[in-house]
Structures are given as C-alpha cells and as structure tokens.
C-alpha cells in the first residue's frame, strides 16, 4: 500500500528535511506542498537540493488544500498548528476529506506539552492540547527498554514531534533517570546548537558575519521553551513530579546542523555505594539502548572511551550517546549528538509515522551519517 503525504510549511528547514526523507520513502508519495509566505513560488527556489521536487508549486496553507491526503505533516511556527488542525477536523467531520481521517504530524511545539499551565508560561498562546508524543525511545516509569511509547504510537493518528534540544537531552539522560542513578533535582545541560536550529528568519545575529568564528548563548536563565518538555519526559521516565530542576543553556555555534548536549547530574547512593560506579552507570545505558547492532536501531551507545561527535550523525536519524562517571565531582556526565533536522525533527517524524502506519520503524530513515 502507498500513502499520500502533504507538507505544510514546506519551504522552511524542517519542512525541507521532511520532504527529503519522504521523497526517498518507499511507501509514501508526496502530494501538496504549502507555505503561506512563499505561496506561488516553485519549491526549488527554497530547496534547490530537492531536484525531483523542484518544479512543485507551493500553495497557500489551508485545510481545503491539504484535504484528501493520508498524511499531513505540519512544519509550521509555534502557535500556528492548533488553528489549522481545528480546520482539518472540521473538513473531516463534514465528510469532505476522503477515505479516512489523516495521520497528522506536528513538527512544531503546539501539541507536545501535557500541562496547560506550562504551555501558558513558556509560550503564552492558547493551549491546543497534547497529542501522542513522537519519541519511540521514550522510557516510561518502570521500563528499562522503551515499549509503552511505541504502543501509543502504533494506535494514534495525531503525533507531536519532540523539540530537537529535548531529544538530545532526553536520550542522553533518561536511562539514569529511569534507573534512579542520577539526582534529577540538580540537572545541568549545556548544548552546542547549529544555526539551522534558529530557522530561516533573516535576523542580524543569524548572518554569517555574526556567526562565523563566534559562539552565542541564548534563552539563558531558565527561559528556553524546551525546559518544560524535558522535565515532562524525565517525569514520564520515573522522576518525581515537582522535584526535577533543570539548568538549561543552549549555545549557537558556527555549524549548520547538529546538537551536542552535555548533561551532568550528581549520582545517587546506588552509584556512590558501588565498588564499580562506572559499570553501574554504563549497565543502565546498555540495558536501555543495547550495543551497536542490537537494541535501539537509532540510538548508538558508543564504546567506552569514545565520545559523540556531531559530524558523524549529520544527515541521519541517529543519536550517538555516551555516559561516564566523574569520580572527583560525584556526577554522571551524559552526552548525546544528533542532527537537529534529522533525529531532532524530520527523522523522528518519519520514525513515528512508520509506527502509526504499521511499517518497520526505520523505513525511509537514514541510519548512516555523511561525515566528514
């Protein structure tokens, strides 16, 4: 069976990466592409690398133009998906969509948070409700291997793709959270983030003359919108609600794609009282992710002494992960590298979509990077 997919917000970085993956997906055909600000343009003006799609006409974004597709991917600015999804639901209820209601995947933030108050605090727009969270590897309480989230994704038609920074921090640290090996009341995360994570907007601080040779922290001091989502994931993995404290500092660095998240947290007595604390930590990560070629297909727990590098995962849906015990500081150091547009956005969307459609999870997802 072949499914048809429409992509809204197709001319942005996230939309372009979704189109790149869908163009190579053996079970999906790309239909309508839309974007309000660039409606009327040919897609190749915005994504010249997508040669087979270059002559596609970009249409305005509305529910009527998206109707009839089996899949709708939303790659829209935060706050824009809620109203469009309401319009899609109206078309479906009126019987004007087609064979059946579509699978809708939101790459924006509108449907990630389960707490309306957290949404109001960090985003300040009307809360649109939570959808099934699009991270198949997400641990639930009392799990060592992710299964519950995959079951949810197999039975849903509404998927909220995680934030890119959220994915990096969650995959870095969740085995330690779930196993009770780190103090979630004292978590610190510092991330090196590529400039595509800031979007395509023409702003002075995003120009080459400002970016090259410079590193720029942003959303410092507990203001970044991904903080409540990371806390939500830690609580899902078993951390006590209300007891998670996260210091989160992203830094724009002069690379186009990639996130390198370094997460530290004090270890618990389970680790401190062990004769082999390094092995206690590593065993938890190994139990969750497996070793190379086994366990999670898209999370690579590196061998001891090897550390994640963003260049090795560029263009892929892979996450490279490592953990070590800092004996003198009494903390676990947890590191994850992902491509912010790959595992951080589009690959996660396709991976989750595959589960919803009943396909093998990695269909159409690149499992090799393009380094150097």
Q: Return the pLDDT at 271.
A: 96
Residue 297 has a CB neighbour count (10 Å cut-off) of: 18
> Is pLDDT above 90 for 79?
no
pLDDT tens digits for 318-366?
A: 999 999 999 999 999 999 999 999 999 999 999 999 999 999 999 999 9
Q: Beta-strand (E) ranges in 109-185?
A: 132-133, 158-160
Q: Return the pLDDT at 363.
A: 98
Q: List Cβ neighbours of 95 (8 Å cut-off, separation of 6 or more).
A: none
Residue 117 has a CB neighbour count (10 Å cut-off) of: 10
The pair of three-digit structure tokens given for residue 133, joined into one six-digit string: 């969270």
User: What does the alpha-carbon distance between residue 184 and residue 73 come to, in Å, rounded to a whole number?
Assistant: 34
- What's the mean per-residue pLDDT of the chain? 95
- The CATH 3.30.360.10 portion of the chain extends over 165-342
End-to-end CA distance of the chain: 37
pLDDT tens digits for 290-313?
A: 987 689 999 999 999 999 999 999
> Is pLDDT above 80 for 70?
yes
Q: Return the pLDDT at 291.
A: 81
User: What does the alpha-carbon distance between residue 226 and residue 218 come to, in Å, rounded to a whole number?
Assistant: 12
User: What does the alpha-carbon distance between residue 200 and residue 195 come to, in Å, rounded to a whole number?
Assistant: 9
Q: Return the pLDDT at 370.
A: 86
The pair of three-digit structure tokens given for residue 123, joined into one six-digit string: 């985003």
CATH T-level fold of 3-161: Rossmann fold (3.40.50)
Is the domain defined by 165-342 classed in CATH 3.40.50.300?
Answer: no
User: What does the alpha-carbon distance between residue 240 and residue 245 come to, in Å, rounded to a whole number?
Assistant: 11
Helix (H) or strand (E) holding 263, with range, is: strand 259-266
Q: Return the pLDDT at 253.
A: 96
- Number of helices (H), then strands (E), belonging to the chain: the values are 11, 13
User: What does the alpha-carbon distance between residue 343 and residue 298 come to, in Å, rounded to a whole number?
Assistant: 8
pLDDT tens digits for 86-124?
A: 999 999 998 888 878 899 999 999 999 999 999 999 999
The share of the chain scoring above pLDDT 90, in percent, equals 87
- Strands 246-252 and 216-217, bridge-based pairing: antiparallel
Q: Tell me: cis bond preceding 234? Omega within 30 of 0 counts.
A: no
- The CATH 3.40.50.720 portion of the chain extends over 3-161
Q: Return the pLDDT at 201.
A: 75
User: What does the alpha-carbon distance between residue 244 and residue 222 come to, in Å, rounded to a whole number?
Assistant: 13
Q: Out of 85, 107, 164, 235, which one is annotated catalytic?
A: 164
- Strands 158-160 and 71-74, bridge-based pairing: unpaired
Flag whether the pTM goes above 0.85.
yes
Distance of CA 318 to the CA centre of its chain: 11
Q: List Cβ neighbours of 102 (8 Å cut-off, separation of 6 or more).
A: 66, 69, 70, 71, 72, 88, 92, 157
Q: Which is nearest to 321 in space by CA: 360, 282, 355, 367?
A: 282
What string of DSSP letters covers 156-169? -SEEEPPPHHHHHH
164 is catalytic: yes
pLDDT tens digits for 34-57?
A: 999 899 999 999 999 999 999 999
Coil, helix or strand for 279? helix
């Amino acid at each position: 069976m072949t499914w048809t997919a429409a992509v809204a917000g197709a001319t942005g970085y996230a939309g372009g990466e979704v189109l790149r993956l869908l163009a190579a997906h053996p079970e999906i055909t790309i239909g309508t592409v839309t974007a309000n600000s660039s409606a009327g343009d040919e897609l190749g003006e915005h994504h010249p690398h997508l040669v087979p799609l270059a002559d596609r006409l970009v249409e305005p974004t509305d529910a009527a133009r998206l109707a009839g597709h089996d899949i709708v991917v939303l790659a829209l600015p935060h706050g824009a998906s809620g109203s469009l999804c309401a319009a899609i639901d109206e078309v479906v209820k009126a019987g004007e969509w087609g064979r059946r209601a579509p699978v809708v995947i939101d790459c924006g933030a509108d449907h990630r948070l389960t707490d309306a108050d957290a949404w109001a605090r960090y985003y300040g727009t009307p809360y649109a409700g939570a959808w099934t969270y699009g991270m198949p590897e997400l641990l639930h309480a009392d799990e060592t291997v992710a299964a519950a989230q995959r079951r949810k994704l197999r039975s849903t038609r509404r998927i909220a793709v995680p934030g890119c920074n959220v994915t990096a921090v969650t995959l870095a640290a969740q085995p330690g959270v779930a196993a009770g090996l780190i103090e979630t009341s004292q978590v610190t995360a510092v991330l090196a983030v590529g400039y595509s994570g800031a979007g395509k907007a023409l702003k002075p601080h995003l120009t080459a003359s400002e970016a090259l040779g410079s590193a720029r922290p942003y959303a410092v001091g507990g203001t970044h919108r991904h903080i409540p989502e990371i806390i939500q994931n830690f609580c899902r993995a078993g951390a006590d609600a209300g007891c998670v404290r996260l210091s989160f500092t992203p830094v724009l660095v002069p690379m186009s794609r990639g996130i390198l998240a370094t997460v530290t947290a004090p270890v618990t007595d389970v680790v401190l009282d062990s004769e082999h604390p390094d092995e206690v930590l590593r065993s938890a990560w190994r139990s969750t992710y497996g070793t190379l070629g086994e366990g999670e297909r898209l999370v690579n727990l590196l061998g001891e002494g090897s550390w994640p590098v963003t260049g090795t995962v560029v263009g892929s849906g892979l996450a490279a992960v490592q953990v070590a015990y800092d004996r003198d500081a009494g903390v676990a150091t947890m590191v994850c590298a992902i491509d912010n547009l790959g595992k951080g956005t589009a690959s996660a969307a396709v991976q989750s979509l595959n589960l919803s459609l009943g396909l093998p999870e990695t269909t159409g997802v690149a499992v090799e990077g393009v380094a150097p």
